[in-house]
Amino acid sequence: MAGSVLLKKYANRRLYDTERSTYITLSQVADMIREGRQVKVLDAKTDEDVTAFILTQIIVEEARKNNSLLPVTLLHLIIQYGENVLSEFFEKYLELTIRNYLEYKAAYDQQFRKWLEMGKDLLAQTPAPLPRFADLSSFFNLFSPSGKEAKPKPSTEE
């Protein structure tokens, strides 16, 4: 259900979905976006584009529910430097960084699923149960300080 939808914002803070001819909540707008829809929100009286304001409001509501979204120190920086320094960062780099993160995460998740499937296939092809690693002493001797086989300590129980 990808595509874009036009919403109208009225003075009473209500949002009107022009596609379905019904009023909707911020939560429903967030759900649309999670489904991959693009929204554009126009002020019903002035036709001013208020999309950024509505999307910011959704983020603030989500943060309020979870009691945090961004670290307090970052919020202080955003308020302190606002338009001057951070707007360029947000416009140019933050979106790109998040998109790259999501692409890499999806690629790693896909690769991990492949590894899991390979492991299942290998286990299914194993004719007998795997050995219990009965004698790992030679392996652990590699980590002894002298590099030689560790001698068992004499038992004090007699």
Question: How far is it, in rounded angstroms, from Cα 154 to Cα 68?
Answer: 59
User: Residue 156 has what pLDDT?
Assistant: 55
Residue 83 pLDDT > 90: no
User: Please, are residues 39 and 33 in contact by the beta-carbon 8 Å criterion?
Assistant: yes
Q: Is the pTM of this model over 0.95?
A: no
User: Residue 8 has what pLDDT?
Assistant: 96
**Of 52-56, 75-79, 84-88, 144-148, the least confident:** 144-148
Give me the chain's average pLDDT, please: 79
Q: How confident is residue 114, by pLDDT bands cut at 50, 70 and 90?
A: confident
Angle at 10 between CA 7 and CA 12, to 5 degrees: 135
The closest alpha carbon to 19, from 6, 31, 30, 28, belongs to 6
Greater pLDDT, 21 or 69: 21
